[in-house]
Amino acid sequence: MTTGKTLIMTMCIAGLLPLASAQSATPPRITSAEAKTHAGETVTVCGKVVDNRVSRYGLAGHGKPVTFHLDQPEPHPAFSFVTFGSESGANPGEAQAAYQGKTVCVTGKITAAAVPYIMATDRSQIKIQPEDK
């Protein structure tokens, strides 16, 4: 290769390395209270599920969404995550039973709203944490 081609190739590789490492980096872990300052970012939010609400209406192919509030219940929740019931979405009660009262960590992109939230369409985004003894 000529020196010019080598230089261009090196610059391309050097420019893409930060992108490649950012893709594999573990998202930062934050509290539910910190979520409002991280809108638009992909993070892991941890807290205790203290309240939940099943939507009146379902979404085609997913069923009824369930909103879970971490650390602070309605009417002033600090952070929420939304997920669906069983794999078919037909049983929102299954999701309620799985997470209510448990400490969880939810990974995803925070959406800015009156209450910041993560849409956890894939339940693998939600990890139940072991209880402190």
Q: Give me the domains of the chain, ranges plus CATH numbers.
A: 27-128 (2.40.50.140)
Q: φ and ψ at 25, to 5 degrees?
A: -70, 145
Residue 105: count of CB within 10 angstroms of its CB = 17
Q: Is 35:110 a contact under the CB 8 Å cutoff?
A: yes
- pTM above the 0.85 mark? no
Residue of 26, 32, 54 lying closest to 118 (CA atoms): 32
pLDDT of 58: 78
Q: Is 50:68 a contact under the CB 8 Å cutoff?
A: no
Span 15-74, pLDDT tens digits: 555 555 455 589 999 999 999 999 999 999 999 999 999 988 877 777 889 999 999 999
Encoded tokens for 48:
């205790």
| H/E element, 119 | strand 117-119
pLDDT of 108: 98
Q: Which long-range contacts (CB under 8 A, 24 or more apart) does 26-31 make?
A: 27/107, 29/105, 31/71
Position 89 pLDDT exceeds 60: no
pLDDT of 42: 98
**In sequence order, what are the residues at sequence separation of 6 or more whose Cβ sits closer than 8 angstroms to the Cβ of residue 63?**
84, 85, 86, 88, 89, 90, 91, 92
Residue of 75, 83, 74 lying closest to 117 (CA atoms): 83
